[in-house]
Amino acid sequence: MQVLHLQKANAAVHQAGMRIVIIDESAARASIIEDGLRALDDCEIFTITSRDGLLAKVSEIGPDMVFMDLGNPSRDVLEEYFTVSRALDRPIAMFVDDSDDASIAASVDAGVSAYVVDGLAANRIRPLLETTLRRFNAFSRLQADLAEAQGKLAARETIDKAKRILMDGKGLSEPEAYAELRAKAMSSNRRIVTIAEAVVTAHDLMGDGT
């Protein structure tokens, strides 16, 4: 804690600490990124998750660097502000410089847009950008995992429903009903859940769906 404080005091003498703004309408993702950047020295992190008063907030903070999710609907507004605003004294340019195409492409792929104060050294920006991208990708993976888990749950329910239909309709036991679904899936080269969906749909269409 003390060390950090000292570094900050030093930085203030030689070079002001980096002020970083994270703009993300997903508060969860913003906090995950913020958490990652906090681990880096010499940075002050600000998070904005609401569209209201966006420009006023950014202007008040006077950031050196802004991270924003690529699809954020406020990007045109912010870019306009960067282009015309004299409030920041220093012009802000998209990303590091023209030659840094690879890292720009990586951020676009990850869904991050970054705006940087013109003239900020690449060696100061790169670790920040890399941390943000890692966090952003980790968040995407978490979401994908969640979606997959939810998908699995839904599939389990569909298969249970199909089994129940076969058990009621054909007087099968539960293992027999499952074996029938699996056999059909294997013989038609489809997934069990696909067969189960077909059974449930057909059952609904026959008019006695529950």
Partner 1 sequence: MTQELKIGFLPLIDACLPILAQEHGFAEDEGVSLSFVRDMSWATVLDRLLYGHTDAAHLLAPLAIATTLGLGRPAQPLAAPFVLGLNGNAITLSNELAAKVLPADGAGADLGEPRAVGALLKAEALARKQAGNPLRFGVVHRHSSHNYMLRYWLAECGIRPDEDVEIITVAPPFSADSLMAKEIDGSCVGEPWNSIAVDRGAGQIVLATAQIWRRGVEKVLALREKRLDEIRPEVEALIRAMRKAGAHFIDPANWEVNARILARPEYCDAPHDLILRSISDRLVLRQNGPECAYPDFMFQHREAANFPWVSQAEWLYSQLVRWENMEYDSQSAQIAARVFRPNVYRSALKGTGDELPGASSKVEGSLSTPLATTAQEGSITLNQNTFFDGQSFDPDRLEAYILSQK
Give the span between the Cα atoms of 104 and 96, in whole angstroms.
8
**Shortest Å distance, C-beta 105 to partner 1:** 5
- The minimum distance between CB 57 and partner 1, in angstroms, equals 15
Q: Pattern of binders to partner 1 over 44-83, x per CB under 8 A?
A: --------------------------xxxxxxxx-xx-xx
Minimum distance, C-beta of residue 48 to partner 1, in the bound complex (Å):
16
Contact 18, 65 (CB under 8 A): yes
| Complete DSSP assignment for 50-83 | -STTHHHHHHHH--SEEEEETT-TTHHHHHHHHH
Half-sphere exposure of 184 (CA within 13 A, CB side): 17
From the list 101-109, 130-138, 158-166, 202-210, the region that binds partner 1 by CB under 8 A is 101-109
- Name the site residues for partner 1 (rule: CB under 8 A): 70-77, 79-80, 82-84, 93-94, 97-98, 104-105, 108-109, 113
